[in-house]
Amino acid sequence: MKLSITDLQNFLNSHEINFVNNYDLTKKSWIRSGGKIRTFIKLKNLNEIKKVLKFLKINQSNYYTIGNISNTLIRDGEIITPFINLSLFNKIKQLNNKNGLHFFAGSGVSIPVLSKYVTNKGYTGLEGLFGIPGTLGGGIFMNASSYGDSLTKNIHKIVSINSDEKIIVTKKKNANFSWRFSQFQENKNLIIGAYFFFPQEKKINKQLSEYKLRQFLDIRRKSQEKNYPNLGSLFATENIYSDLKFVSYSFFLLFILNRLVNFIFFKKIFKKYLPNMRTLINLMYLKILKFNDKSNFTLSDKTINCLINKGSIKSSDGINLVRKFQKKINNKIKLENIILDKIL
Domain ranges of the chain: 5-85, 92-216, 225-340
Phi, psi (deg, nearest 5) at residue 3: -75, 130
6 vs 38, 42, 53, 77, 177, CA distance in Å? Answer: 10, 17, 17, 18, 39
Q: Which residue has the higher pLDDT, 121 or 290?
A: 121
* Of the candidate ranges 153-162, 164-173, 249-258, the one whose mean pLDDT is the lowest: 249-258
Q: In this predicted structure, what is the pLDDT of residue 210?
A: 81
pLDDT average, residue stretch 313-324: 94
**Alpha carbon distance, N-terminus to C-terminus of the chain:** 8
Residue of 142, 145, 101, 105 whose CA lies nearest to 126? 145
Query: DSSP character for 340?
Result: E
Question: Angle between the 206-223 and 111-120 helix axes, to the nearest 10 degrees?
Answer: 150
| Burial grade of 41 (CB within 10 A; 0-12, 13-18, 19 or more) | buried
Q: Which residue has the higher pLDDT, 201 or 206?
A: 201
* Residue range 92-216 in CATH 3.40.50.11540: no
Instruction: Share the mean pLDDT of the chain.
Output: 90
Instruction: For 107-140, write each residue's pLDDT tens digit.
Output: 999 999 999 999 999 999 999 999 888 999 999 9
Asked if the domains 5-85 and 92-216 are classified in one and the same CATH topology, the answer is no
Q: In this predicted structure, what is the pLDDT of residue 288?
A: 80
Phi, psi (deg, nearest 5) at residue 263: -70, -45
Q: How far apart are CA 309 and CA 38, in angstroms?
A: 24
Q: In this predicted structure, what is the pLDDT of residue 289?
A: 76
* Of the candidate ranges 97-101, 145-149, 165-169, 279-283, the one whose mean pLDDT is the lowest: 279-283
Q: How far apart are CA 301 and CA 281, in angstroms?
A: 8
- Provide the CATH topology of domain 5-85: 3.30.43
Q: Which residue has the higher pLDDT, 128 or 34?
A: 34
Q: How far apart are CA 145 and CA 111, in angstroms?
A: 11
* Residue 144 reports pLDDT greater than 70: yes
pLDDT average, residue stretch 202-227: 81
Q: Which amino acid is at 100?
A: G
Instruction: For 168-185, write each residue's pLDDT tens digit.
Output: 999 999 999 998 999 999
| Burial grade of 175 (CB within 10 A; 0-12, 13-18, 19 or more) | buried
Q: In this predicted structure, what is the pLDDT of residue 246?
A: 87
Q: How far apart are CA 261 and CA 277, in angstroms?
A: 7
* Residue 272 reports pLDDT greater than 80: no
* Of the candidate ranges 4-8, 61-65, 259-263, 334-338, the one whose mean pLDDT is the lowest: 259-263
Q: Which residues contact 285 (CB under 8 A, 6 or more apart)?
A: 251, 254, 299, 304
pLDDT average, residue stretch 198-209: 84
Residue of 298, 294, 296, 254 whose CA lies nearest to 277? 254
